[in-house]
Amino acid sequence: MKNNRFVACVLIPSVIFLLIFAVFPVAYGLGISFYDYNPTSSYNEFLGLENYKRLLTDEVFWIAVKNTIIFCVVAVTANIVITLFLAKIISVLPSKGMKTFFRTILFIPCIAPIVGTSMVWKYGMVGTDGGLLNRILGLMGMPPRNWFLTTWQLLAIIIVYTLWADIGYNVVLFTAGIEGVPKEFDEAAAIDGAGPVRRFVSIKLPLMSRTFAFVAIMTMANYFQMFAQFQVFAPDGGRSNSAMVLTNYIYKTSFSSYDMGYASAVAAALFMIVFIVAMIQNKMMHADWSYE
């Protein structure tokens, strides 16, 4: 259909809105990254590429890059493997009520705000004094540990927490995806003598590739933005910054050290990483994200 007046009526205000709240901030941030920027000062010195040069030699920044990538790769992979498995075995159950029941239980942590549940974990699971982890150690006859003093273990705990908080969502998506595949394919393969695992990997997975691509891309995009649990578990990045990720580093640099120019350079780097990862994923998944 064609109706330019209507299109203009709707789009002009929307585009202006998006320019202000979505496009302009990116440009604005890029601009700030060339300054020694502190909004309380009336004069902010222009530094050129100085902030970016500083990135190259900033140890904490590279640790944060490394941790962000480790966190995303490990957590996303584990998430997809676990959720596919759970979705598959749930879909095998014969009773609909039972399927719904387990799906609902698994989904409950997703409903609760991340800050809230990570706080519950911080005290109830990881807490030095009477936390579940230390009690399990105690049952095994080992002395309790202060987990906030650990390095990779703390990051691993945050990954496990994130999985706990987030798998329900993908389980729901995958069960729907599996159920969307017509039964006939599966039955035909079974007649051909393919075992259940083989049938799942070589028939169901390709047939639900669209769901798979959507889940993988959204989960990845989502995990790059994870922030709240890092704020709760390791606000200062943990011991030797072993749980420092880019989102938290940006926050810390801009709102604790008030070094907004440099923080903007870190933000630009995060943007580049997300962009590159999205491109790679796009290639790998052949996902149809473009127009039509």
Residues 256-285 binding other proteins (CB under 8 A) are: 256-258, 260, 263-264, 267-268, 270-271, 274-275, 278
CA distances (Å), origin 123, targets 6, 135, 254:
55, 13, 28
Q: What would the x/- binding string for other proteins be over residues 213 to 232, using CB under 8 A? A: -xx-----x--xx-xx--xx
Q: Which of residues 145-184 bind other proteins (CB under 8 A)?
A: 145-146, 148-149, 164, 169, 172-173, 176-177, 180
Q: Which of residues 123-142 bind other proteins (CB under 8 A)?
A: 123-125, 128-130, 132, 134-135, 137, 142
For residues 74 and 128, which CB has a smaller minimum distance to other proteins in the complex?
Answer: 128
Q: Which of residues 89-108 bind other proteins (CB under 8 A)?
A: 89-90, 92-95, 98, 100, 102-108
For residues 52 and 214, which CB has a smaller minimum distance to other proteins in the complex?
Answer: 214
Work out whether 233 is an interface residue with other proteins (CB under 8 A).
no
Contacts of 285 (CB under 8 A, 6+ apart): 209, 212, 213, 216, 217
Work out whether 18 is an interface residue with other proteins (CB under 8 A).
yes
Work out whether 47 is an interface residue with other proteins (CB under 8 A).
no
Shortest distance, CB of residue 46 to other proteins, whole angstroms? 17
Q: Which of residues 105-124 bind other proteins (CB under 8 A)?
A: 105-109, 111-117, 119-121, 123-124
Work out whether 206 is an interface residue with other proteins (CB under 8 A).
no
d(CA 83, CA 169): 9
Number of residues that bind other proteins (CB under 8 A): 115
